Amino acid sequence: MEYSDHEKNIWRSGVAMTWRWRFSSALLVATLATLAVLALPGAAWAQREGVDVGGNSGFAQLVPADDIEASAAKQYTEILMQAASKKALGSADNAQVIRLRRIAQRLIPFTNEWNPRAKTWKWEVNLIGSKQINAFCMPGGKIAFYTGILEQLQLTDDEVAQIMGHEIAHALREHARARMGKSAATSIGAGVLSQLFGLGDLGRTVTNYGVQLLNMTFSRSDESEADLVGLELAARAGYDPRAGITLWQKMAASSQGAPPQWLSTHPAGNTRIADIERNLPRVLPIYERARKD
């Protein structure tokens, strides 16, 4: 049976499209598999003293860190301006602001091991007047506490350090960046391959996520990881890691059956307390040395 030139061209075109689709799909799967491997614990983590949470997620590499941090800085500035307009921004001579900044100064020197970018971050620590039981650290080291979490829970310095360490850990581990990268990979699909080779609009895609940074929710594994990294940061800074237990007990008591905003996506209190207790032997020696220095 003879085929016309037109029919042959259609067949060749169909075969070429099929192979291009198969190649793109295979390459995408291979790329995502590689990113997943990058997040696995390495030998270096197994040998270090302290908690073991492995490396940062490879999905973070799909999103430019500079773009995320620039979006965070812009949003943080807007939040502070809004608070100032309502006379709700703590002044530099406010006792609680001084306290928060003192604690941060002790924690920040120990962040570099977790993320080399932290060396260049322009850290900021502010206090916002609000009844919310909430605190956050946006990418790039932009920290804020709400007066509600300090006043309603009557936090000790050790407990504040646990919260601050937890929030800093989210930034160090680039949880927001990883979530955006994973979202981009799954929503863009094979198109993400062109982004990896510098051919697309992933940078512009990131800007669409900027408004979500403050209210972004993390997975339970992210939250558990932040607990442990925060536990170690606090211990290295000379804050008692056992305060993590009393902190979550206070959190549970304040919830009255419904978790406060800050805990809405976190693991259950009993689960996280058990995780802390299990990791105390890893960080208590660090704390004891830091306390003697």
Q: Are 243 and 159 in contact (CB under 8 A)?
A: yes
Kindly state the tokens that stand for 127.
């206090």
Kindly state the tokens that stand for 202.
């992933």
For the chain, give percent helix, strand, coil, nearest 5. 65, 5, 30
Kindly state the tokens that stand for 286.
């660090």
Residue in 167, 174, 225, 232 annotated catalytic: 167
Q: Is 167 a residue of the active site? A: yes
Kindly state the tokens that stand for 159.
């407990």
Q: Which residue has the tokens 């290295």?
A: 236
Spell out the alpha helix ranges (H) of 39-156.
43-47, 65-85, 95-107, 147-153
Q: Longest C-alpha distance within the chain, in Å?
A: 91
Which residues are marked as active site? 167
